[in-house]
Structure 1
């Protein structure tokens, strides 16, 4: 399916969004100050526990088909070594940066991976709105108490999806559960040009004695007969197991060399989101945003000494500014 933006697809999205469930739980009742503080600190501890050195297993399975004409694809399992670092912690906001460490032909390579921002009792969240655009969505005031938003960003720090939810304990297991969130196709799906073109999903994060897991329940949706319809259900379990038997230092060295550059990139995306009412940028199935490859290349050039940091920041700022549009 050719990726494009149109009034037709915008209408389909609006219809699905209006009819999809938005609230995962009822409002959290007022608690004593001591209980509120204890819950807040427990939430923070669970978020911060996602930082560390891990071996990661990505387990993806299309299971239940909702469209009788669709044949689910085979189960896919992949993995790697991933370093997760806390790059910001202001109390009510925590930012975690993921970096993959890959050994190719005896040489360790770093791939800047996804980023997750956690914010306590947010007033609004940047969410996926339609292909190539993300917009601000207000969190209902009555649903903010005691809850955290999670915003996930792509390898070039452009947005991917956002949602909000609460930490809860059931059966002795503590987890964070999101509301229903819209998400664009992952690269693994987008490159196949499937009949579905987005996900309606619930995300869960929970710590374990060995690390933590990210559990996704993805309903893959696509246009059919003038409306968005479910095609197939997918279950994804990403397991992060504590492990440091690889070149962790390579990731830390990469971040030390590029963190100022990436801070400037994040700041530019944030400014665009604020001034343009969200973020609109063209994406391609193979690469993500059309500027992703260049933003990552410049970070590598900073590490190798081929490019000065100030020059890279100036070019990155211009690339982001020139390739984004106002969200109306």
Structure 2
């Protein structure tokens, strides 16, 4: 799959973004086995504490324009109810699945939302490297000690973005901050066909007395041959997602959905992982409304399992075929673009 890897022509830039703040922080000195073990266990407890049932508030605001003439969008606030479940815990890897419960009382339905994987001292992360492409990137060995990666996946379990950082305590607050990461456009932006096509971001997670917050510092970037590394900043955006513990909604709906579809989604995760390992990453076409071009069908299949309209075996077989075909087509397109650009 050398051709596919060659296509990821933004990898060096992504590596620079991924490494910059971590290098600025420097390696974490060896603190001795007892301290390292205590810190590790505290980190785990903090991550696991993000599981639960919540009232969620999403607050998004563009602020400083970096491009002359650009008018920042109006602030957008939304919310809902979200259940977060631990679906895997191996000790050094914790997977949290988010499930949105929407609709009026008695008519609620569940939307499989984002997923976050936390891994202790990983050797590599699956990082976004530009439109339609993700690539494995090595985490520098001297920066692994004491750090956790967080990889965020889209609703269909395809990758979204990844970064690493250290859980720290300051001013009595427990915090995790990522390095710089590339991120694909969120649907709220992608559907508007904006001039920018990706974000350069720092993500932070902090526990609060009533739950936790996830806040993002996003620089929206556009292709620009005259810009540094072929990109130019357009506008700054700040996003604050607040999770307050709350269970006065149909929590059972989330658990019923997951009980019916968990094995299917486990098979989907395994298939994405197999493609990433075999190809050195993932190349797949995206669309504004749904993320990947197969996202809508993968989600519908899960609903058909829950409703009894499709057997689990047939569902898994179809999902595997969809992922295999879509990523093969994405890889072929990537290779064609690379060849056209004279990259191999």
TM-score w.r.t. length of structure 1:
0.94
Task: Map residues 8-47 of structure 1 onto 2, 5 A cutoff.
Answer: 13=10, 16-17=13-14, 20=17, 22-24=20-22, 25-47=25-47
Pairing 1:283–2:281 present: no
Q: Please identify which structure carries the higher strand content.
A: 1
The alpha carbon displacement at 1:168 in A equals: 1.0
The alpha carbon displacement at 1:15 in A equals: 7.0
Aligned-partner Cα distance in 2 for 1:176–1:18: 20
Task: Map residues 44-63 of structure 1 onto 2, 5 A cutoff.
Answer: 44-63=44-63
The question of whether the paired residues in 2 share the 8 Å contact of 1:60 and 1:237 is answered with: yes
- Secondary structure of the residue that 2:20 maps to in structure 1? coil
Task: Map residues 133-212 of structure 1 onto 2, 5 A cutoff.
Answer: 133-212=133-212
The question of whether the paired residues in 1 share the 8 Å contact of 2:199 and 2:221 is answered with: yes
Aligned-partner Cα distance in 2 for 1:44–1:171: 20
Pairing 1:260–2:263 present: yes
Aligned-partner Cα distance in 2 for 1:36–1:14: 32
- Number of residue pairs the alignment of both structures matches: 319
Task: Map residues 313-328 of structure 1 onto 2, 5 A cutoff.
Answer: 313-325=316-328, 326=331
Aligned-partner Cα distance in 2 for 1:160–1:324: 15
The question of whether the paired residues in 2 share the 8 Å contact of 1:63 and 1:233 is answered with: yes
The unaligned stretches of length 5 or more in structure 2 are: 1-6, 336-344
The question of whether the paired residues in 2 share the 8 Å contact of 1:16 and 1:228 is answered with: no
- Secondary structure of the residue that 2:320 maps to in structure 1? helix
Aligned-partner Cα distance in 2 for 1:314–1:155: 19
Q: Please identify which structure carries the higher helix content.
A: 2
The alpha carbon displacement at 1:166 in A equals: 0.6
TM-score w.r.t. length of structure 2:
0.90
RMSD: 1.6
Which residue matches 1:232? 235
- Secondary structure of the residue that 2:268 maps to in structure 1? helix
Which residue matches 1:221? 221
Aligned-partner Cα distance in 2 for 1:45–1:230: 37
Regions of 4+ moved over 6 Å? none
The one of 238, 249, 258 equivalent to 2:252 is: 249
